[in-house]
Amino acid sequence: MPSSGALLAKYTPAAVTHGTPLAVLGVDGVVVLEGEAHVPARLEHLSARGKWVRDVQVPEGTREAVAHLAQRYSIVWASEWGPNAHLALAGVLGLPATPWPYLPVQFDKLAAIRQYAGGRPWVWIDDPVVDLHPLPDDPGGVVVRVDPSKGLVGLDLSEIDEAVLRTAARRAPSHGASTIRKSS
C-alpha cells in the first residue's frame, strides 16, 4: 500500500472553497452506468476533445442530483477519468465552465481523499468496485457506496447531508466519527 504522501506527490489540485464540506465523486457507476441500468437512463455520447468517445448511460435525475450536491459541497472528482471527468460530462450534467478539481485515482482512493480534505468534512460517493481492500472502521468521513446499476440517483441525498453534518459535529474539534453507507 503506497503512502498517502506518495499518492499525492504527483498531482495536488487546488482546493476551491476552504471550509466547505467536500463531496468526492467517482464517475463510473456513480454518474454514468455500465451494463444494465435499473433506473431510467439516457444513452449519452461523451467525448474528450475528440480524442476518444464513449457511449454511456446517464440516469435521469443525475444532473439534478449533482446540482444538489454542488449547492452544499465543494465537488471533487476522484476517478480514472482524471481531468476528463469534468470535460466530458460538462454538457450532460450542466457543470460550470471552471472544472472542479480532480484526484487521479482509480482504486483504494481513501488515502488520497483524506489527504486532500485535510480537516474538512467530506462524503465520498463511489462504486464499491473501487475498493480493492476493505475500508478501515474509521475512514475519517462519510463513505457512501452506490448500486452501480442506479448510480447517484439511487441514493437519498438528504440522508447524506445529515450524515455529513452529524459527522462534522462529532469531529469538532477532535472526534474521529465516521460512517460507511451502502445504497439499497
Partner 1 sequence: MSDATTTPAAEAVPDTGTAYGLALGGPLNELAQVGPGTPYGEVMRRYWHPISKAEKVTTTPRRVKVLGEELVLFRTGRGEPALLHPRCIHRGASLYYGGVEEDGIRCCYHGWVFDPKGHCLEQPCEPDLGQHRDKVRQPWYPVQERYGLVWAYMGPPDKKPVLPRYDVFENIPEGLHLIVNDAGVGGGGPEVLDFNWLQHWENVMDPFHVPILHARFSGEQFTPEMAVIPEVTFEYTPVGVRSTQIRKLDGKRALRRRTEVMFPNLRVVPSPRLTPGQTNLIGWVVPEDDTTFRIFTLAVHEDLDFLSKLRSTFGGKPWAELSEEEHRRMPGDYEAQKSQGPISLHSEDHLTTTDQGVAMLRRMMAKQIRAVAAGKDPVGVIRDPADEVVTITGGNFFLTHEEALAEGLVDA
- Which parts of this chain interact with partner 1 (CB under 8 A)? 1-3, 5-7, 9-11, 28, 34-35, 48-55, 80-84, 104, 106-107, 128-130, 132
* Nearest distance in Å: CB 166, partner 1: 30
CB 112 to partner 1: min, Å: 10
The region, left, alpha or beta by phi > 0 then psi within -120 to 50, assigned to residue 133 is beta
C-alpha cell at 109: 482512493
Which CB atom, from 61 or from 82, has the smaller least distance to partner 1? 82
Could you tell me if 113 and 122 are in contact, meaning their C-beta atoms sit under 8 angstroms apart?
A: yes
Q: Which amino acid is at 12?
A: T
64 vs 80, which CB is nearer to partner 1? Answer: 80
CB closer to partner 1 out of 56 and 117: 56
Q: In the complex, what is the shortest distance from the CB of residue 48 to partner 1, in angstroms, rounded to a whole number?
A: 5
Tell me the three cell numbers of residue 101: 478539481
Toward partner 1, which CB reaches closer, 120 or 145?
145
CB of 148 to partner 1, least distance (A): 9
| Helix (H/G/I), strand (E/B), else coil: 161 | helix
Residue (85 or 144) nearer to partner 1, CB: 85
Cα–Cα distance for residue pair 71/128, rounded to 1 Å? 25
| Neighbouring-strand partners of residue 24 | 76, 124
What's the closest the beta carbon of residue 84 comes to partner 1, in angstroms?
Answer: 6
Q: What angle is formed at CA 145 by the lines to CA 7 and CA 87, rounded to 5 degrees? A: 60
92: which residues sit within 8 A by CB, 6+ positions away? 44, 46, 58, 63
